[in-house]
Amino acid sequence: MRLLVVEDDPDLGRQLTDALSNNGYAVDLAADGEEGLGDTEPYDAAVLDLGLPKMDGVRVLERWRAAGKDMPVLILTARDRWSEKVAGFDAGADDYLTKPFYTEELLARLRALLRRAAGHASAALECGDLRVDTRAARASVDGEPIKLTAHEYRVLSYMMHHQGRVVPRTELVEHIYDQDFDRDSNTIEVFIGRLRRKIGSNRILTERGLGYRLIDPKAEKITE
């Protein structure tokens, strides 16, 4: 899953990007409102500070929503600014945190937003006996832990959030790398190959010319 953080405080911005990438997300950081607004990459969620130079967060959010960007947005507000929160929710925010906050709480709220956006109620995503616990960024098959690299986890986590649906390779590329990463869609095939070796070769189907589909091989009905 790929996230955008819009935060002008450089220390907090760095802390947030570090914490989020350590928890299995690809993260881009924008340091002011215009930069945040101008970013046209597809994100799974955004963390948006409301007090921003050049263009304030509420305005950024209004413009995102007007442009049809429907990713979940968590706003960061200063203490004692309850009217900011109201303006944020009216502009289309999904959740908020008041500064200062605990990173753990931000992570938990983001997990909830991401899984709700993908239609899942629980923090542990399951597909048959394949399980991804988004709280610990860990995967297991039939209770046995699977060791994954950061990129393998991102691919699997994205596929688990979108299980059953064909995910085009370009979409995967857009959601597992941050902006600064040298992207090569061929490496996706490598990650998929490694994942198949680790979780079982029949769980990720290649839909020729379309993309990949994560399934529970025991539940899948053969219809043709």
Q: Which residues bind Ca ion (CB under 5 A)?
A: 8, 49, 51
For the chain, state the CA radius of gyration: 18
Q: How far is the CB of 61 from Ca ion (least distance, A)?
A: 14
CB-nearer residue toward Ca ion: 24 or 36: 36
CB-nearer residue toward Ca ion: 11 or 180: 11
Amino acid at residue number 75: I
Q: Is 1 helix (H, G, I), strand (E, B) or coil?
A: coil
Q: Is 154 helix (H, G, I), strand (E, B) or coil?
A: helix
Q: Is 105 helix (H, G, I), strand (E, B) or coil?
A: helix
Q: How far is the CB of 9 from Ca ion (least distance, A)?
A: 6
CB-nearer residue toward Ca ion: 8 or 28: 8
Q: How far apart are CA 90 and CA 13, in angstroms?
A: 25
Per the CB < 8 A criterion, the answer to whether 47 and 109 are in contact is: no
Q: How far is the CB of 97 from Ca ion (least distance, A)?
A: 13
| DSSP per-residue letters across 25-73 | -EEEEE-SHHHHHH--S--SEEEEESS-SSS-HHHHHHHHHHTT--S-E
CB-nearer residue toward Ca ion: 93 or 148: 93
Q: How far apart are CA 86 and CA 78, in angstroms?
A: 13
Q: How far is the CB of 116 from Ca ion (least distance, A)?
A: 26
DSSP single-letter state for residue 221: P
Q: How far is the CB of 50 from Ca ion (least distance, A)?
A: 7
Residue nearest to Ca ion (CB): 51
**Where on the phi/psi map is residue 207: left (φ > 0), alpha (ψ -120 to 50), or beta?**
beta
Per the CB < 8 A criterion, the answer to whether 45 and 72 are in contact is: yes
Q: How far is the CB of 67 from Ca ion (least distance, A)?
A: 23
CB-nearer residue toward Ca ion: 8 or 84: 8
CB-nearer residue toward Ca ion: 24 or 57: 57
